[in-house]
Structure 1
């Protein structure tokens, strides 16, 4: 397996916090499992609930919100149909009596220096992802161009219809935990979905 995250970051990868370097080197080579708690999960306006409920069928979005929600995170390296290296992400949120997912399949576009991110199962959305390292050694991920996936067709989305995602992952040395913040914003509707929490690698 080629290291898709370290390859897209290049020399900047060495500026990541050592625990983040370890984590991302690990998930590029073998399955990774972690568990923790989402201190807060928020969603957009109530009128968006039917759309969010539809997202549950594709393991993408969900209408629930809350605080201190248990969750698990799993990564699995694999090879795509065209022979490309991929990493499958599975995030499961355990609400009372319900399991909700936020899954993705990532691969490298080495020519453009971005991560290709297919969201949902089967995929319904695509985003370019740009990765940078923060001054504190955290990893910053920002979505760029997006497309709707309709079978074999991918239709570019105008900016006003996009859900722009921002992800920040850091490591807390005092508490020995990974911390994660995710926010998906639309220029018109505001917050579509967000969560903030922490996790540790399973033994």
Structure 2
């Protein structure tokens, strides 16, 4: 079986430190299957309404949305895929995720694709992947977050005018994503926070869900 982008971009000892249920979530999805989850986000978005016009621009490409809501039901679907950047480049093993937020104003879907690149794990955000973040993978062996996976962005880039541009570290936003498994509640808990220098928190969501790998009845074997 092909290894997942997470397994390809880190060492086996890091994967071994993951909670067993998280190894399923971050492991390879078998051909002809998808990963599906449903749960509730305690919060989504930002209460800083002056940021909403900027978030509305990102919403056009299914990256972030100009909202601030609590107790938002959501679903997630992870599909094995291959993502290429440019016609001459070999497509890389990827996991493409669709997270659908059932907001009061209607459903909105966030799209991204995770790939293992030569310089590490990269998250390509939105339908077209114009914004990307290189991620550092961390898994604590002990302590309160033992077995949880933490992803921290180390570079944010965007594509424009036919080429890629990296944002300087002094102004680049920072993404911190934490996934952990709550044995007592039998739930996977997720927290994502997007921050920027001086400004602080720009966007976040956090909540819990249940997740299973199931046959892809819509498309069959890929």
User: What is the TM-score with the length of structure 1 in the denominator?
Assistant: 0.91
- RMSD value, Cα: 1.8
- Structure with more of its chain in helix, by fraction: 1
Map Cα deviations across residues 75-117 of structure 1 (whole Å, 9 max, x no partner): 11112342321111111111113122322111112x43x2111
Residue of structure 1 aligned with 2:69, choices 39, 42, 66: 66
Instruction: Confirm or deny that 1:143 pairs with 2:153.
Output: yes
Instruction: Confirm or deny that 1:9 pairs with 2:10.
Output: yes
Instruction: Confirm or deny that 1:187 pairs with 2:197.
Output: yes
Aligned to 1:18: 20
Pairs within 5 Å for 1:110-125: 111-112=118-119, 114-125=120-131
State the SS of the aligned residue for 1:67.
Answer: strand
Instruction: Confirm or deny that 1:155 pairs with 2:165.
Output: yes
- CA distance, structure 1, for counterparts of residue 92 and residue 54 of structure 2: 32
Moved over 3 A (4+): 26-30
- Unaligned stretches of 5+ in structure 2? 85-89, 215-222
- CA distance, structure 2, for counterparts of residue 58 and residue 44 of structure 1: 21
- CA distance, structure 2, for counterparts of residue 116 and residue 144 of structure 1: 10
- CA distance, structure 1, for counterparts of residue 30 and residue 180 of structure 2: 18
Aligned to 2:217: none
- CA distance, structure 1, for counterparts of residue 22 and residue 199 of structure 2: 33
- Unaligned stretches of 5+ in structure 1? none
1:38 deviates by: 0.1
- CA distance, structure 2, for counterparts of residue 20 and residue 83 of structure 1: 26
Conserved 8 A contact 2:4-2:29: no
- CA distance, structure 1, for counterparts of residue 130 and residue 53 of structure 2: 16
CA distance 1:194–1:87, change in 2 (3 Å) = same
Aligned to 1:91: 99
Aligned to 2:139: 133
- CA distance, structure 2, for counterparts of residue 67 and residue 25 of structure 1: 30
- CA distance, structure 2, for counterparts of residue 21 and residue 48 of structure 1: 36
- CA distance, structure 1, for counterparts of residue 24 and residue 158 of structure 2: 33
- CA distance, structure 1, for counterparts of residue 83 and residue 131 of structure 2: 18
Aligned to 2:54: 51
Conserved 8 A contact 1:44-1:190: no
State the SS of the aligned residue for 2:55.
Answer: helix
